[in-house]
Structure 1
Amino acid sequence: MAVTLDQQLLDILACPSDDHAPLRVGTPDDPEADVLTCTECGRRYPVTDGIPVLLLDEAEHPADRQTGQAP
Structure 2
Amino acid sequence: MPSPIKDKNSGIFYLRVRVPADLTRLTGKAEVSKSLRTREPAEAKERFAAEGASKGLYGGGLCTVPDAE
> What's the TM-score, normalizing by structure 2?
0.26
Structure with the bigger percentage of helix: 2
Q: Whose radius of gyration is greater, 1 or 2?
A: 2
